[in-house]
Amino acid sequence: MTIKTLILQGEGEQLDFKNKISNCGKIAKTLVAFANTKGGKLLVGVADDGTIKGVKSEDEEKYMLQHAGQHYCRPTIDLHFTEVYVDDKLVLVGEVPESDLKPHYALDDNGKWWVYVRVGDKSLLAGKVVVDVLHQSNRPEGVQFSFTEKEKALMEYVHTHTRSNLPELCSHLQLSRRRTQRILVNLIVAGVIEVHCGDHEEYYTEKVP
């Protein structure tokens, strides 16, 4: 697939445009989000509207990306680079594979580490449930839990309420936030509940086969 074909698709879950790399902390969010989701490609030298601007110094841009991956991401993230000329302009393609070491954290300007996931064309901050799901999903032994009346009640509630959120579920189950989160994580990893990340809060739906 050519760079122009990629650009025509627009930014999305596995594609992001960057005119240039000027802030390691900001770009680390995108790297982490790609690694924690399905992987993705950064097209450096392409404006948000898809206009090909080209990069002035591929070495400088590559250094910034590598520095962000090594020092602003935990565990570190290694990128694969490709240099492509389009209409005599150089586009640097940085590819981030989906990681086997989830969750990855990005360092913010205040020295704190946060988990991000990719939703559409945005890198969104992950809530506690999503972070725990990322931890659990990498366990080779999978997840084991007892299917009690609480699990059954949660599934029935989600079945009848299309955008269930955590406070609602805590109230319905009459359980603490921590215990409700644990049940949610187990059911999400087991593949019967689906978690959705939004700009303001996570919500949960029944997993459609």
Contacts of 12 (CB under 8 A, 6+ apart): 120, 121
Class for the domain spanning 128-206: mainly alpha
Cα distances (Å, whole numbers) of residue 96 to 34, 53, 107, 199: 6, 22, 18, 23
| pLDDT score recorded for residue 142 | 56
| pLDDT score recorded for residue 143 | 57
Other Cβ atoms less than 10 A from the Cβ of 64: the count is: 19
Q: Which residue type occupies 204?
A: Y
**Could you say which residues of the chain have pLDDT below 50?**
none
Alpha helices by DSSP H, listed for the chain, are 3-9, 24-36, 58-71, 128-137, 149-160, 166-173, 177-189
Cα distances (Å, whole numbers) of residue 86 to 48, 82, 115, 190: 17, 13, 34, 45
- In CATH terms, 3-125 corresponds, of 2.40.110.10, 3.30.950.30, 3.40.309.10, 1.10.3720.10, to 3.30.950.30
Domain with CATH 1.10.10.10 in the chain: 128-206
If you count DSSP H runs as helices and E runs as strands, how many of each does the chain have, helices first?
A: 7, 10
Domain with CATH 3.30.950.30 in the chain: 3-125
Backbone Cα Rg of the chain: 19
| pLDDT score recorded for residue 145 | 63
